[in-house]
Amino acid sequence: MGYTFAEKIISKKSGCQVSAGEIAIVQVDLAMATDTTAPLTIQAFKEMGGVLVKKPARTVFVIDHATPAPNEKISNLQQLIRNFVLEQNLVLYDQGDGICHQLMVEEGHVRSGDLVLGADSHTCTYGAVGALATGVGSTDLGAVLLTGKSWLRVPESIKIVLTGELNRYVTAKDAVLAMAGKLTADGATYASLEFCGDGAAKLSIDDRMTIANMAIEMGAKNGVFTAAIEDEDLKPDPDAVYINEYHFNLAEIEPMLACPHQVDNVATVQAKAGMVIQQAFLGSCTNGRLTDLAIAAKILKGKKVAPGVRLLVAPASRKVLLEAMARNYIQELIRAGATILPPGCGPCVGTLGGIPADGDVVISTTNRNFKGRMGNNKAFVYLASPVTVAVAAVLGRIARPEEVIQ
């Protein structure tokens, strides 16, 4: 009987052969925390008697959730992070650098075959580059800083076979929303998702990141693209055991939405066409990358955001912003009426900027539409692709791309 990726990598990092359901103590290659989770991480590390961080060069702190700091309290917590980073010689990304998950991949911190724990639930994004990456809380991360280790329950695995190719103006976001609709918000709880098949292998790194990013929205511990696993010894065996298997033909994926207030409440864009919107957001660790800005700029070029609609754009990183400027995407978005925000997470999580008003309908490229998620529990958030968001921004209502793109 063979082993899955999760079984193989946890066995390697723990030094003993383990199978799904077993508990293992693993060496953690890379640790990450954000301004939401780092202060409690530092506090836990100190309370545990921590003096020196075990692996400083592979401990990354990112100030991205509420930056630039909106008030003195938050500013002081961010200062606490900077002081700790200096004291311990850790890696820091500060104001304006970008969103943690984008930076971890873009700056080459994550490598294929790494075991990564991050104090942010969307740490699962790094499965796009062949890592076992999962979100933990601050105290767990404090323990990683102290010991370089953690304990993991070896997850059962679910195989997601992707075939075919996405149609024009249908994106990886539509595919992952379709997956969330099928698997449901807790259909993969505790499990490791393995994205495989020729359809998965052909997806770009940006597309893989969008899909792996939302593994947590189905309850998964992690999601990995098997095509990105470089170490032969970590590739899943053909006779590995899976608790479930799903098949998606990317050519059959339609433009999709997740309707309020849960990710698995999915509908086709066609089914909700005509829904009037007040705010559109393009950004986040799911869809703030260059390809996302490119497609939105292409749709909005020479057009205007509809009256009564506020379009917000937050590039995923400083590099993405610079490249999008070099290619005129940002200029085209601004001319169309978009408001450009600094790279960061703010609007997605209701921590900074773009808080919707009571009753507002928001269309957003983010990953969560929980009630109150964007900072107002009386708003209605629809999750969608960058294409659908750009189209809705132009028309002031949800519509299929053909209405705007000739």
Partner 1 sequence: MSSINKAHVYGDDINTDLIIAGKYTKTLNMAELASHCFEDIDANFTTKIKPGDWIVAGRNFGCGSSREQAPLAIKHSGIQGVIAKSFARIFYRNAINVGLLLVVCNTDQITDLDEISVDLFNGSVIINKKLKIPCEKLSPIMQQILEEGGLVPYLCKRGDF
Q: Which residues bind partner 1 (CB under 8 A)?
A: 23, 25, 35-37, 39-40, 43-44, 47-49, 65-66, 73-74, 77, 118-121, 123, 135-140, 142-143, 146-147, 149-151, 153, 185-186, 189-190, 216, 219, 221, 262, 349-351, 368, 370-373, 375, 377
Q: Which candidate, 199, 198, 200, places its Cα nearest to that of 212?
A: 200
Supply φ then ψ for residue 34, to 5 degrees: -115, 180
Q: How far is the CB of 203 from partner 1 (least distance, A)?
A: 26
Of residues 287 and 366, the one with the C-beta less far from partner 1? 366
Q: Which residue has the tokens 């954000």?
A: 34
Long-range contacts of the stretch 372-376 (C-beta < 8 A, 24+): 373/348, 373/349, 374/281, 374/347, 374/348, 374/349, 374/350, 375/350, 375/351, 376/350
Q: How far is the CB of 383 from partner 1 (least distance, A)?
A: 13
Q: Whole-angstrom Cα distance, residue 291 to residue 288?
A: 8
Q: Whole-angstrom Cα distance, residue 363 to residue 207?
A: 20
Alpha-carbon separation of residue 312 from 21, 36, 90, 249, 309 (angstroms): 44, 22, 33, 32, 10
Of residues 171 and 364, the one with the C-beta less far from partner 1? 364
Q: How far is the CB of 122 from partner 1 (least distance, A)?
A: 9
Of residues 37 and 388, the one with the C-beta less far from partner 1? 37
Q: Whole-angstrom Cα distance, residue 404 to residue 316?
A: 26
Element (H, E) at 46: helix 38-47
Q: How far is the CB of 52 from partner 1 (least distance, A)?
A: 13
Q: Whole-angstrom Cα distance, residue 264 to residue 261?
A: 9
Of residues 135 and 197, the one with the C-beta less far from partner 1? 135
Q: How far is the CB of 341 from partner 1 (least distance, A)?
A: 16
Of residues 220 and 280, the one with the C-beta less far from partner 1? 220
Of residues 197 and 346, the one with the C-beta less far from partner 1? 346
Q: How far is the CB of 330 from partner 1 (least distance, A)?
A: 26
- 293 close to 171: Cβ distance less than 8 angstroms: no
Of residues 131 and 398, the one with the C-beta less far from partner 1? 131
Q: How far is the CB of 234 from partner 1 (least distance, A)?
A: 22
Of residues 106 and 264, the one with the C-beta less far from partner 1? 264
Q: Which two tokens stand for residue 143?
A: 């323990």
Of residues 81 and 160, the one with the C-beta less far from partner 1? 81
Q: How far is the CB of 163 from partner 1 (least distance, A)?
A: 29
Q: How far is the CB of 48 from partner 1 (least distance, A)?
A: 4
Number of neighbouring beta carbons within 10 Å of residue 95: 15
Q: Whole-angstrom Cα distance, residue 66 to residue 100?
A: 12
Q: Which residues contact 365 (CB under 8 A, 6 or more apart)?
A: 173, 281, 282, 283, 284, 286, 287, 288, 292, 383, 384, 385, 386, 389
